[in-house]
Structure 1
Amino acid sequence: MAVVDPLILLTLFAILLFVIGVPILLVFGAWTVGFTYLVDLFQFLNLPLVAYNQLDSYPLVAVPLFIVIGTLISEFQISDDIIAFARSLIGWLPGSTANTSLLMAGIFAAITGSNSATTAAVGEALYDDLEAEEYEPRFAAATIASGGTLGIIIPPSILFILYGALFNVSIADLFLAGIIPGILMLGGLTAVATVQSYRHGYGRERTPFSPTDVVRQAWRAKYALLAIVILLGGIYSGTFTPTESAAVATGYILLVGLVTARFTEFNQLLRGMTTAITIQGIIIPIYVASVMIQQNLSFLGLQRAIADAIQALGSPWLVGAAMVVVMLLSGSFLASVPNMILIAPLLAPIAATLGLSPVMWGVVFMMSDAIGFITPPYGLNLYIISSLTGIDYIRVALAAVPYLAVLVVIWLTFFIFPELNVLVG
C-alpha cells in the first residue's frame, strides 16, 4: 500500500506529459520505468526481458514486409494502374474521383494492410485531382482520411498480425473475418461520398461504365491485382503463412519492377526500405511499451476491476453500451497499438459473455480502432491528410462526420449481430 500515492502521482505526471504533447512512447516509457522503480516486485531486468520475449515472434516479420510492398507499389507507379482500374469500376457515380479514391483505398488496403500507408498513398495520388475538379477541400481531405480506415480491416492487416501474434488468435482467421466488414465499410463510405457529391455538385465529370474498359484497366492493373491473389490466396490455400506470403509478395513486386523496367534505380528500393524501417521503428517500441503497461495494470488489478464494474451493470444492453463507450473513447485517445494491447484484453471476457468469438471480437475491436483514426484528439489519418494538404486538422475532422456516422452504424451492427459475419467459423 505504500506505493499507492506515488503511483497516483506518477500517473498524473504521465497524463500531464500526454496533454502537453509529449510523444506517446515517451509517456508510456516514463510511466513504465517509474512503476518498476516504485514496485519492489518488479525489477529493471524485466524491461529488456519483456521486449525480447515480445519481439521473438515470427509473425512480426510480416509487418515491415507489408510496408515495403506498399512503398514499392508507389515507387514503381503501379498505383497509377490501380487508380485507372478503380475509376473504370466506379467512376460513373456522382463524385467520380471521390469514389475512385475510396475504391483505391480498398485495393491498396488489400495489399499493404496499413491505414497510414493507404491514407498517404491515396492522398498523394488523388488529392490534387479532387481539388482541380472543385471538390470542397475539407470534403476531399475527409474522404481520403476516411478511406484510410479500410487499411486495418480489409485483409491483410498489420494490426490483425499484431493482434493474432499477441493474443494467440489465428491470423488467417482474422484476415478472413475482416473481408465482409471491410467490404461493407467501403460500401458505406461510397454511399456517403455519392450522396454528398450529388447534393453539392462535386465531380460533375463522370466516366461512363463500360465492361470493355473495366477489362482493359483490369489487365493494366494486373500486377497489383495479382499481388492480392498471392497474398491472400497463398494464405487461404495453406501454401504460405502470412509472413511467408508477405515475403513472396515482396519478391514478386521487385520482379515486376525489373521485368517492366519500372525499377530503374537503386534509390527506389532504398526509399522503400527506409520508409519500412522508419514505420517499424515507430510501431515496435510502442508495441513493447504497451505490453509492459498491460502487465503492470494486470498486477495492480485495474483491468479486472474495470471489467467487473462493466459486468456488474447486469443487463446485456447496458454492458454492451458501456463497452461501446470505452472503445470509442480509447480509440479516440490512444494510438492503435497501445489501444489494442491495453483495452482489447480488458473487454475480451465480457465480449465472450455477449457471444463474440475470439476472432469476431478481434474484428469488432479493430473496427472501433479504425474509427479512432478519424476521431480527435488522436485521429492519425486526420493528421496524415492534414500534413499533406495543409488543411486544419479539426476542419477535416468536422467534414468527416458523415463518414464517421456510417462507420459507427456498420461497426455497431457487427457488434450486436456478430452472426452476420458468415465467414467466421
Structure 2
Amino acid sequence: MSPLLILAIAFVILTIIGVPLFASVGLTTLLALFLIDIPYTLMAQTGYSSLTPFPLLTIPLFVLAGRLMEVGGMANRMIGIATTLVGAYRGSMGLVSVFACMLFAALSGSGPATTAAIGSVTVPAMKKEGYDVPFAASIVASAGALGSLIPPSNLLIIYGLVSDTSIPRLFLAGVVPGIVVTLLLMVVTYIIARRRGYGGDGDRFTWAPFLRAAWEGKWSIGAPVLILGGIYGGVFTPTEAAGVAVFYSLFVGLFIYRELTIKKVVSALRFTALLTGILILITPTLAFGQLTAFYDVPTAVQEGITSLTQNPMLVLLLIGIFYIFIGTFMESLAQIVLFTAVFLPLVSSLGVDPVMFGIFTVITCEIGFLTPPLGANLTVAARISGISIERISVAVLPFILAYVVGMLVLIIFPDLTTFLPNWLYGVAK
C-alpha cells in the first residue's frame, strides 16, 4: 500500500471518529513524516514560520473591532439605517437583516461574527412580527456569511498569505461579488416573505427618516469609509487598518455613543480569543500542504482533471462541487490552506486569475458555513433563535441556492472580480 493511500485513510478515520480537525491533520502529518523518514522538526519549523507573517495579526484585530462595534451600539444604528430604506416592502425586517449584514460585514471580516452581531437584534424583531423562526434564523445565517466575502475578510487574508496574492487587490475584488450575492439573498427573502404574507411596516421611503437615521449613525457609516478608504488610498496597510478599526470602535463606543463598558470590552476580548483560536489550524495544515507538494499531488490533480476537460469554466465547476462537499465537515480556514496549493497551479495554468480564484474559493466556503454538520453560521443562528440546527438546515436551502447562483455568475463573468482591482492598481503582472 502506498504511503499516500495510508495517509488518506488515516485522515478519513481520524475525522470520522471525531478527532478535532487540527489534531487529525497534525497526526496525519506526523505519520507521513515517519513513513518517509523526514525529521519531526518540520512541524516545529512550520509552526514558527506559519505564525510569523505580520498580516496574520489582521484577523484578531478585525474580529475584536467588529465585536466592539456590535456591543458599542454601532450595529444597532446600521440596522436603523437599513430599516428606513426597506420598511415598506414585503418581508422588510428580513431585508433589513440582509442589508445590515452587508454593512456590518465591512467591519467584522468574519461570517459567524456578523451573524451574531445582526442576528441578536433582528431575529427577536422578526419573531415579534410573526416570522417563522427557522426562516428568520436562516436569513441571518446566510446573510452573515457575507462577512467572509465583503472586505475586510479574514478568509481572503488567509488566501492572500497562502497564495502570495495582494490582499488589497483581493479586498477590492470582493466588493462587486459581495453586492451581487447580497441582492440574490434579498430576492430570495422577498419571494419567500411574499408567499408567506410577511408584511412591512407600511412606511414608504422618504428622505427625512433616512437622513435622520444616517445622521444618528454617521459614526457607524464612517467606520468602513475610514477602514477601506485608508487601505485603497494607500494611507495604511490592511494590518494597520485593523488596528485603526479597534481604536475607532473604542473611541466611538466609549466617548460618542457611550455604550461601551469595561465589562463589554472584556467580553469582546474573550469572544475574539475564542473565535480566532481557529488559527491553531494553520501550523498542521501548512505542514500537510508541504507534504502534498512532496508527493507531487498538485501535478497529479492537474493531470487528472485536465484529462477530463481543459475548459476553465468546467474545471472551476468541478472544484466548486468538491469545495462545497468538503466544506460540510472541514473548517474554511483549513480548506483554504490545504487546497489552494493543490488547485491554484491548475487554474492558473488555464488562465484563471489568482484574485478571481480567491473570491471563488471564499464563496464556496460561505456555503460551507451553511451546511451541517459543521455549519458555523448555523450554530450561531441556532443559539440566537433557540431552535435546533436541523430546523435551520432545511430553511436555509433556498439561500444556499442563492450562493450557488452567485458562484455560477462568478464562473461565467470572472471580470466581476477583477475589473475594480485592475482599474485601481493596474493589471497584475
1:311 maps to 306
Moved more, 344-353 or 88-97: 344-353
1:147 maps to 143
Superposition pairs of residues 98-137 of structure 1, within 5 angstroms: 98-137=94-133
1:263, distance to aligned residue in structure 2 (A): 5.0
Give the Cα separation in 2 of the matches to 1:261 and 1:146: 29
Find the partner of 1:77 among 73, 76, 89: 73
TM-score norm. by structure 2 comes to 0.93
Query: 1:100-124 CA deviation, whole Å, 9 max, x = no partner?
Result: 1111110110011100101111221
User: Which SS does the other structure have where 1:374 is aligned?
Assistant: coil
2:18 maps to 21
Q: Is the 8 A contact 1:303 1:346 kept in 2?
A: yes
Q: What residue ranges of structure 2 are gaps of 5+ in the alignment?
A: 423-429
1:50, distance to aligned residue in structure 2 (A): 0.5
1:70, distance to aligned residue in structure 2 (A): 1.1
Find the partner of 2:286 among 280, 288, 291: 291
Give the Cα separation in 2 of the matches to 1:245 and 1:147: 24
Q: What residue ranges of structure 1 are gaps of 5+ in the alignment?
A: none
1:301, distance to aligned residue in structure 2 (A): 2.2
User: Which SS does the other structure have where 2:88 is aligned?
Assistant: coil
Q: 1:268 to 1:318 in 2, by over 3 A?
A: closer
Give the Cα separation in 1 of the matches to 2:345 and 2:26: 28
2:181 maps to 185
1:35 maps to 32
Find the partner of 1:260 among 249, 256, 276: 256
Moved more, 99-108 or 369-378: 369-378
Superposition pairs of residues 16-415 of structure 1, within 5 angstroms: 16-40=13-37, 42-260=38-256, 262=258, 265-282=261-278, 284-316=279-311, 318-415=314-411
Moved more, 391-400 or 114-123: 391-400
Query: 1:1-27 CA deviation, whole Å, 9 max, x = no partner?
Result: xx836x644543432232233321221
Q: Is the 8 A contact 1:332 1:372 kept in 2?
A: yes
Amino acid corresponding to residue 64 of structure 1 in structure 2: P
Give the Cα separation in 2 of the matches to 1:350 and 1:186: 30
Identity, in percent, stands at 34
User: Which SS does the other structure have where 1:332 is aligned?
Assistant: coil
TM-score norm. by structure 1 comes to 0.94
Root-mean-square deviation (Å): 1.8
Q: Is the 8 A contact 1:297 1:303 kept in 2?
A: yes
Moved more, 322-331 or 289-298: 322-331
Q: Is the 8 A contact 1:290 1:337 kept in 2?
A: no
Moved more, 52-61 or 320-329: 320-329
Query: 1:275-326 CA deviation, whole Å, 9 max, x = no partner?
Result: 11222222x1112221111111221223321222011113415434422322
Amino acid corresponding to residue 25 of structure 1 in structure 2: F
Give the Cα separation in 2 of the matches to 1:348 and 1:91: 44
Moved more, 302-311 or 94-103: 302-311
